[in-house]
Structure 1
Amino acid sequence: MRDPLTGLYNRRYAMPHLDRIAGRAAQTGRGFAVMMLDLDRFKAVNDTHGHAAGDRVLMETAARLSDNIRKHDLLARIGGEEFLIAMPDTDPDRVRLAAARLRRVIADHPMAAGPALLPVTVSIGIAFADIPALREAVAADQLTASVKRLLERADKALYSAKAQGRNTVNFGRTAA
């Protein structure tokens, strides 16, 4: 189940795969995180340069993200200009470094969109899984609900990154 434009996995593939990642994390006790990434002011790209230019920006973004994550990380396009990255077997410091690198590989090099080179930035929200809560969710057959809450935390962190001025990374709070 791939997104036809970018070739990345789509939401239909990503959500059940994320449940499997969470289940493994609950079993092994190894941390995992999710990142929600959203291109900043993407509507202006489409409005100013046309949808073909917007499509090229999305394809280039997908390629840059794919080239800068680990092979076993999950990368999916889950909405128009929104991407999801799940990083199993990781810790908060590694996730923070990865997010900063991803933000830079998008922002530091304008993207070719027809005759124009467009500056593009991305905002990133991160949530790190709470392993004890995942274990409780598995025991109660509530893993999917727990993953949904994790995604909601990452999404709130993304909106906070946007509110902080865009082109930023924000680490969401851990669930209580």
Structure 2
Amino acid sequence: MVKTIKIVFMRLLLLSLPLMLFSPIPAAAADSQSEINGKVATALDAFHKEVPGAKEYLKQAKGVLIIPDVKKVGFVIAAQWGTGALQEAGRTVGYYKMEAGSAGFQAGYQKADFVFIFFTQEALNKFRSGDGFTVGAEAGLTLVTVGTGVAADTLKNQTAVAAFAFGKEGLMAGWSAKGTKFTRVEP
């Protein structure tokens, strides 16, 4: 049975690879600073409306990375990307792109807004100093399910960075932070 699943998976992978590599996917034009800032403001408004305790999370933050309109597209092999802004004390201090790839039993399209809250100065400094910062187990990141009602103080005591995904549209199961790469950009 396991051997049959592996064979089916490999066939799907081989069949989908040419589709992913040679599909006419238009090159995404980079957004300007004003376009990114507008999308970030809209995402922050949605964060306040959709995430219970949002105001308290932001009050506890040393820094906040807002990546609006993150898109995830794939069939067996998936890609995820978006561009947003890092804010400290409500002021934008840099722009970052978020990228990730994955392989497995997946198909579909999904769009969501992401907010990463840095609760410690050390975590924020590590993020800002890293060129091509990649999220792994060592980053101390917790993905918070919207609606769980975890208090900001509790979350702050348990993790250095919390990630919220909200405003989801489309159909694609799950999101994992592991392997997500953040790179500073100049729009």
TM superposition score normalised by structure 2:
0.25
TM-score by length of 1: 0.26
Judging by fraction of residues, say which structure has more strand. Answer: 2
Question: Which one has more relative contact order, counting CA pairs under 8 Å at least 6 apart?
Answer: 1
